[in-house]
Amino acid sequence: MKSNRLAISFRLVLGTLLACVSSQPAFGQAPYQRKVITIIQGREAGGSGDLQVRAVIPYLQKYIPGNPTVVTEFMPGGGGRKAANYIYSSARPDGFTIGNIGGGMVVNAVLGESGVQYDLDKLIYLGASDSAIVWVFLTRRDAGLGSLEKLRGAAGVRVGAQSVGHIIYTCGRLFAYMLGMKDPKFVTGYSGPELDVALMRGEVDARANIAETILKRSPEYLERGVVDFHATLEAPKGKKPSAFAHLPELESFTRLEKERKVLEMFRSFRVAGSPYILPPGTPRERVQILQEAMRKTFQDADFHREFKKLTGNDPSPVMPEALEKIIKEIPRDPETVDFFKKLAGSGPLPER
């Protein structure tokens, strides 16, 4: 009798344990069920990068098992350095915090800029939704800089940007140098939409911007002729919207091999896109879940339509493994890095 009671007790305990185990979601199947994932954006709200993330969010929710809630927080500063540092060093590596940082994250790390506290080769990559892009350099028509000759002849043209290290800032510096502008002044401290307003108010005279952003957010630039367009910078080369097809590509203004190499480096930076990243040490099972969800998002035809609707541009996705490879293969030879740093820095542009 005693042995029977022990056997019955053992079966009851075992049954209770099995019931408890079976009631828990399997780690690899649905660790995100009824959970919240936060995407930390290294930018201000409302710009083109924010719109790209907004296009991704509903599909990421759809393809992550458990259908979690995905929210976003903004952490601008240092051309993406603040947010990248946070993801690398402070965010919990549990798969519930994702970073989306502008292209400046890669640039700043390769160039060894101050304030970079993250290692590109230790971050975990989920992919990027945009690898191809065209920038346009433009001036306010009231500034009277309607030709390249006038642009080169005017001293102290005020070129607006977000912050030192932001990709729009770096792009504006490359345009100013390659176009041969005389002692341009770089005015920072704006968000993307604020910079558009500052241009029309006359606070700045010029800016670089993404071609598709202009078509989506500022169609009056073309419809009313309130700005003059001067040149494009294409990454990769050879594709730009028809509205800007008549403009010269910036490489046509280069004189030296080092100038061509620095543009090649910049294009390589850009093809890396605005990466989605995870902190080092994130459990492999959750990395795999998020990477697969991102792959499915990028392959979804509805996502492509939503991305086009929100941004005015077709997505050009880079899958996780390809993004990791691109970043590892970016040229890092000292001569090109040194020249790029001078062009992208906060000091006067180099003599040409």
Supply the pLDDT for residue 47.
86
- Calculate what percentage of the chain has a pLDDT beyond 90: 72
pLDDT (0 to 100) of residue 103: 78
On the question of a common fold for 36-131+273-333 and 133-269+336-344, the answer reads yes
Cα distance between residue 197 and residue 34, in whole Å: 41
Stated as kind and residue range, the H or E segment containing 62 is helix 48-63
Which tens digit of pLDDT belongs to each residue from 110-121? Answer: 888 889 999 999
pLDDT tops 90 at residue 205: yes
The three-class DSSP label of residue 37 is strand
Q: What are phi and psi of 70, to 5 degrees?
A: -115, 120
CATH of domain 36-131+273-333: 3.40.190.150
In angstroms, the Cα distances linking 175 to 193, 254, 263, 266, 311 are: 20, 11, 10, 12, 24
pLDDT of residue 14: 44
| pLDDT tens-digit map of 309-352 | 998 888 999 999 999 988 888 878 899 999 998 998 899 999 98
pLDDT category, 294, cuts 50, 70, 90?
A: very high
pLDDT exceeds 60 at position 34: yes
Structural class in CATH, domain 133-269+336-344 = alpha beta
Compute the distance between CA of residue 255 and CA of residue 108 in angstroms, rounded to an integer.
Answer: 26
Answer whether 0.75 is exceeded by the pTM: no
CA 342/CA 339 separation, integer angstroms: 5
Region of residue 61 (left: phi > 0; alpha: psi -120 to 50; beta: else): alpha
Mean pLDDT score, 250-262:
95
The domain segmentation of the chain, as residue ranges, is: 36-131+273-333, 133-269+336-344
What is the residue-averaged pLDDT of the chain? 90
pLDDT tens for each residue of 218-230: 999 999 999 999 9
Place of tokens 């642009």: 151
